[in-house]
Amino acid sequence: MAGKQGAKRRDAVERGWSWGRGRVLAALCLLVAVLLALPGLVPDGPGRMGSLLETFLPWLGLAVPVLLVAALLRRSFLAVTALLLPVVSWSAVFGPLLSGAGLAPDDAFTVVQHNISDVNPDPAATAHALAGTGAELIAVEELTAPAVPAFEAALAGDYPHHATRGTVGLWSKHPLGAVRPVDIRPSGVGEGWDRGLRATARTPRGEVAVYVAHLPSVRIGPTTGLTSGRRDESAALLGEALAAEPLERVILLGDLNSTLDDRGLEPVTELMDEPGPGFAFSWPAAFPVARIDQILTRSATVTGIRSLPATGSDHLPVVADVRL
């Protein structure tokens, strides 16, 4: 009889909640928290696993509900308590992106960045959609020769000043000067690959150096991981141009083909100010999971950034309010 009662008590304990179970789950919670806070600990060797993690870092937070379900099924006080670690870590890293309002309309200097796609079926409609934001600057990439007249015609009234170099373009409500190409060609890429320009925008708030750039694409494969050598080399060249910029205030608009957490963009991001609040996922347009279209500033402040509805491109436009 005593043996049966002891067995029943053990069964009750096993069915109930316990601090003794869930050590593996608790360890996984700690691992997720560390990866969120310190993704640089993951080496960037073959496959560029570190950069791959950083590219989709916000989505690592999805591990929390999975671990929560496992902790509940395991009935582990330890695992449930340990879940606070990744929750706090995610909130510390990405919480600031969820807060913050834009400037008052009278103070806003609005800029738009968009990879319009070289197979966009209606570039004129895309141009009208971008103009509808009222932005003072519109930067575009993958601007093909046939699309240029459509953009010029659609934007001529509100944006009398523009410059194009290769497949990138800049339309402005304010005069543009000192326009020149920015050579960001990685090694092995021939002449005619023009994806960078620089101009001085003469705004009522003073002169601003504006850069438009389109870095090379990256590839992700199940066996190769992240292939980003050309993108990283191009980012280094862009960083050199930004470092040599004589004007104090700078706005960089471009498809940088990665998120700002990716260490491959450090030659650029280390020269620019912290990004403003807002996730503004821009790619792919059908189901955006990352913002690879960036609006960065130096000696100016992005007070808010957001994505816009689809336009016929595989990217979404990104719009930001800037305090000059």
When pLDDT is averaged across residues 302-316 and rounded to a whole number, the result is: 96
Give the pLDDT confidence of 285-301 residue by residue, as tens digits: 999 999 999 999 999 99
Query: Does residue 1 carry a pLDDT above 60?
Result: no
How much is the mean pLDDT over the chain? 92
Give the pLDDT confidence score for residue 220 in this predicted structure.
79
Choose among 65, 42, 64: nearest CA to 53.
42
- Mean pLDDT to the nearest integer, 247-267: 97
**Nearest residue to 138 (alpha-carbon basis) of 324, 261, 308:** 308
What is the pLDDT at residue 190? Answer: 83
- For the chain, give every domain's residue range: 2-98, 106-323
Give the pLDDT band (50/70/90) at residue 276.
confident
Q: For the chain, what's the residue count? A: 324
Q: Which CATH class is domain 106-323?
A: alpha beta
Does residue 102 carry a pLDDT above 60?
Answer: no
pTM over 0.85: yes
Residue 258 in contact with residue 292, Cβ under 8 Å?
A: yes
Is residue 114 within 8 Å of 127, Cβ to Cβ?
no
Residue 67 CA: distances (Å) to CA of 19, 56, 62, 132: 16, 19, 9, 44
pLDDT at 258 over 70: yes
Distance CA 145, CA 321 (A): 30
Rounded to whole angstroms, how far apart are CA atoms 5 and 33?
42
User: What pLDDT score does 104 carry?
Assistant: 47
- Give the residue among 256, 250, 263 at the shortest CA–CA distance from 302: 250
**Greatest CA span in the chain, whole angstroms?**
95
The predicted-structure confidence for 219-247, as pLDDT tens digits, reads as follows 877 766 778 999 999 999 999 999 999 99
Query: What distance in Å separates the CA atoms of residue 175 and residue 322, rounded to the nearest whole number?
Result: 18
